[in-house]
Structure 1
Amino acid sequence: MTRFYSTVSPAYVGASFMLIAGILFAVINTLVQYSTMILGLPPATVAFWQYLIALGFSVPWLLTKGIRAMKTSNPFIHVARVIMAAAGVQLWVMSLAHVPIWQAIALIMLSPFFVTFGAGVFLRETISFARWCAVIVGFIGGMIILAPWSEDFSVYALVAIAAAVMWALASLMTKYLTRTETPESLTTYLLLLLTPINAGLALSDGVSPSLGSAWVLLIAAGLMTALAQYALTKAYSSADAAYLQPFDHLKLPLNVGFGIVVFGFIPPGSMWIGSALIVAASFYLLRRETQTATN
């Protein structure tokens, strides 16, 4: 198996792992939405168990690499970053409890535009006029998907956007920390701090689901979360982000497909128009980022 792996093109390996991660995340989102929307479990409780179980499967990695990576000169920024990530997780699960999966996943794709906006405002990075235009186009696509003028508009759709904002803030802090911290340090603090923060947020709802069948879904979601994170790591360690981006965008049709099969959520035509604008704008931003990095 190792010999076969070593003879395969890194581009093929990266694309394969990115596709595996996309499939896993689509299944995870479906399990989470079923647990919250159909079984009625509190979103905070579902998020807590999902990531606690994922942490359990990550313990071997923590024991071999994580302990040595805990030395840092930026403990407060690490904590703030994980708080933002935890808020993103909680808001994301809350959105899946109330809005169709196609709308939630399309709106979460706005996160890169919030990262670009925040990089210009908070990190004082130079953002060209063309990149600002790409951000505006992406937000227009988000507004088409959000459709606040529609009778079917739900305020909970804004929760998915809030999750995108929180994850964007976490990404900005990650970008700042990479100046002095190692990838092992960033991963270790995320794994160790995310679960207790989620536990604190879940206390008001209770951390023990009362439905026996829910445990199967939560264990499956936790296991697949750990596997999906591993697949992402393998993908990005095998190929460039620019090459992998098209495979990452496959998460949209994958989630839409599962939503149709499991819940009967049929997205309107406006979803595809808005998503096309978001994907096109994000490709442009990625292209600009790649050009900047190589110059």
Structure 2
Amino acid sequence: MSLFRPQAHVIGMWLMACVGLVFASHDSISKILIFSLPVIFVAWVRYCIHTLLVTGMILSSKGPRVFHTKRPWLHLLRAFCLLGDSLTFMFGLTHVPIAESTALVFLAPAFVTILSPLLFGIKASRYQWLSVILGFTGVLIIINPASDAFSLWMLFPLASAFFFAVYQLLTQLAGETDSPAVCSFYVGVFSTSIMSLVVPFYWATPDNWQWLLLVVLGSLGLAAHFLLAKSYCYASSTVLAPLGYLQIIFATIYGVLLFNGYPVLSSLLGIGLIFISGLLVYGRRTVVLEAA
């Protein structure tokens, strides 16, 4: 029997759609900023703003006990993976269209399927392996390594997907002993601290417009995570997770409107395969849960 009312599902679905829009907006603003500011500087300011906002919210509601963690080194490793995810994605945006970059990052569930048996001993079903095959086929179509247009920059979003998959798995491990508030606090603090060590070598002086965009960027990151957490209060992951793929559609629209980036037919085919690969796993999971 479902723990959520049917009306609540609708609210959760709208919230998840908003998550996709906010993340796509966040990535579009990142692409605008890195045209004129160093990637390292943009990432550092984004993490500073996000960390200050989330720390203030956590401390006001949880108190000083949020500083206690049983596995600080695990959170440090999570921070490195999160930075790897963010930086490879942003560097990729300097040369790869936003629609293709976003679609390639959505290969993360395939990497999770491959890595889960190694960390948790969880065996993937044949539907999950079919999803992995479809996803990687979509990747090959998008990057088209045999084409003269192939660029090594296409590998950066793929690296981002891998780092994000590892980050998700490490977060699952951290969640066994620490609360979500503790996990959020430490990954923010460690990420900002690590970036602070290198940002002096990439320092920039933004103008007023760029500072406004940087503040919006950090705020959007926090808003997306808040909406994501809130959506799961109304509906289950089997209902909501497929809607996360709306981010690819929003990113494609932003690419056309802001960057005059029209995906070619082969890219649309690859994006479609990655889209289907994700829906296949979640659709199968829904059937299994209903049968149970």
Match of 1:74 in 2: 71
TM alignment of 1:9-48, pairs within 5 A? 9-37=7-35, 39=36, 41-48=37-44
> What residue ranges of structure 2 are gaps of 5+ in the alignment?
none
C-alpha distance in 2 between matches for 1:78 and 1:34: 30
Q: Residue 65 of structure 1 is aligned with which of 62, 65, 68?
A: 62
Q: CA 1:66–1:22 in 2, change beyond 3 Å: closer, same or farther? A: farther
Q: Residue 236 of structure 2 is aligned with which of 236, 240, 256?
A: 240
Match of 2:49 in 1: 53
Aligned-pair CA distance for 1:99: 1.2
C-alpha distance in 2 between matches for 1:225 and 1:235: 16
Kept after mapping to 1: 8 A contact 2:238/2:285: no
C-alpha distance in 2 between matches for 1:276 and 1:232: 24
Match of 1:89 in 2: 86
Q: CA 1:45–1:270 in 2, change beyond 3 Å: closer, same or farther? A: same
Q: Residue 125 of structure 1 is aligned with which of 114, 117, 122?
A: 122
Deviations 1:212-267 (A, max 9, x none): 43212111111222212211111122211111123211111101101101110000
In terms of mean alpha carbon deviation, does 270-279 or 163-172 score higher?
A: 270-279
Q: Residue 277 of structure 1 is aligned with which of 267, 273, 278?
A: 273
Q: CA 1:42–1:292 in 2, change beyond 3 Å: closer, same or farther? A: farther
Q: Residue 227 of structure 1 is aligned with which of 208, 216, 223?
A: 223
Aligned-pair CA distance for 1:182: 2.1
Kept after mapping to 2: 8 A contact 1:114/1:165: yes
C-alpha distance in 2 between matches for 1:26 and 1:34: 12
Match of 1:286 in 2: 282
Q: Residue 202 of structure 1 is aligned with which of 199, 206, 209?
A: 199
SS in 2 for 1:249: helix
Aligned-pair CA distance for 1:191: 2.3
Aligned-pair CA distance for 1:26: 1.5
Letter in 2 for 1:171: Q
Deviations 1:96-123 (A, max 9, x none): 1221111111111101111111112333
Aligned-pair CA distance for 1:133: 2.6
C-alpha distance in 1 between matches for 2:114 and 2:145: 22
Letter in 1 for 2:34: T
Kept after mapping to 1: 8 A contact 2:51/2:185: no
TM alignment of 1:43-192, pairs within 5 A? 43-63=39-59, 64-65=61-62, 67-192=64-189
Q: How many residues align?
A: 286
SS in 2 for 1:203: helix
Q: TM-score, normalised by structure 2?
A: 0.90
Deviations 1:143-202 (A, max 9, x none): 111112222222111111111111111111112222232222222222222211222343
Deviations 1:14-66 (A, max 9, x none): 112212222221111111101113x2x11111111112112222233221226
In terms of mean alpha carbon deviation, does 161-170 or 143-152 score higher?
A: 143-152
> What residue ranges of structure 1 are gaps of 5+ in the alignment?
1-6
Kept after mapping to 1: 8 A contact 2:20/2:250: yes
Q: CA 1:291–1:172 in 2, change beyond 3 Å: closer, same or farther? A: farther
C-alpha distance in 1 between matches for 2:154 and 2:227: 29
Q: Percent sequence identity over matched residues?
A: 27
Kept after mapping to 2: 8 A contact 1:106/1:145: no
Match of 1:256 in 2: 252
Kept after mapping to 1: 8 A contact 2:54/2:185: no
C-alpha distance in 1 between matches for 2:10 and 2:198: 40
Kept after mapping to 2: 8 A contact 1:100/1:265: yes
Letter in 1 for 2:150: F
SS in 2 for 1:9: helix
Letter in 1 for 2:210: A
SS in 1 for 2:278: helix
C-alpha distance in 2 between matches for 1:26 and 1:130: 28
Letter in 2 for 1:16: W
Report the aligned-residue RMSD.
2.2
